[in-house]
A = this chain, B = another copy of it.
């Protein structure tokens, strides 16, 4: 089966890159929020999120930065916390045909919200 021809011939390459990148953004957030993490494990977690999410279709690169300051400040008596959207900074680069979409997620204080948006399409 030609999946692209059968299921995706109604959207442009640019739209396909946005589509696949956005799926991965939503997936990443809801898969990993809640994971136990602290300053000792944070490098490992960032890397494993990257490795897992780069498997998704049309994904070139995933970068995850977890806010060490927030991690330290919100540390519980038990020396770790549950990962939350507020402390994640994510970049997803997706790509289809000749088009590349750069998507971001960052916590916007004014909105009290981890906003996902398209930074650029090249």
Q: How many copies does the complex hold?
A: 4
* Residues of A that sit less than 8 Å from B by CB: 1, 3, 7-8, 10-11, 14-15, 18-31, 33-38, 41, 44-45, 47-48, 51-53, 55-57, 74-80, 82, 84-85, 108, 110-113, 115-118, 120-121
| A11 nearest CB neighbor, chain B only | B118
B41→A51 contact, CB < 8 A: yes
Q: What's the nearest-Cβ distance from chain B to residue A87, in Å? A: 12
Q: In the bound complex, what is the Cα–Cα distance between A56 and B34 (angstroms)?
A: 12
Residues in B whose Cβ lies below 8 Å from that of A29: 27, 30, 34
With A and B bound together, what is the CA distance between A26 and B1 in angstroms?
23
Q: Which residues does chain B contribute within 8 Å of A14, judged by CB atoms?
A: 15
Closest chain-B Cβ to A50's Cβ sits at a distance in Å of 9
